[in-house]
Amino acid sequence: MRSSFIKRLDKLKNKAGEILNRTLDQQINLAVTGLSRSGKTAFITSLVNQLITEGNGSKLSFFDPVHNGNFIAGSELLKKI
């Protein structure tokens, strides 16, 4: 019985740690896949541009961090070849 309790307590501790790590993670990684010349780069560039200019009246209400006012900054990183 005690062993079962300790296992459940460890599982709860691990779950709480996962939730804490998710809340502290301030970075979103985005991967877009598709056929060549299908507009992947254009999509990412447009999305980042919209996020960067959000303070200038751009509306991205579908994106919760922007809609809730939690988005702070964004930048486009060049692809490493």
Residue 24 backbone zone (phi > 0: left; psi -120 to 50: alpha; other: beta): alpha
Compute the distance between CA of residue 22 and CA of residue 34 in angstroms, rounded to an integer: 28
The pLDDT value recorded for residue 35 is 95
- 51 Cβ neighbours under 8 A, 6+ residues apart: 60, 63, 66, 71, 74
Tens-place pLDDT, residues 3-51:
888 888 888 888 888 877 777 766 777 789 999 999 998 998 888 887 7
The pLDDT value recorded for residue 1 is 67
The pLDDT value recorded for residue 49 is 81
- Alpha helices for the chain (secondary structure H): 2-24, 40-52, 64-67
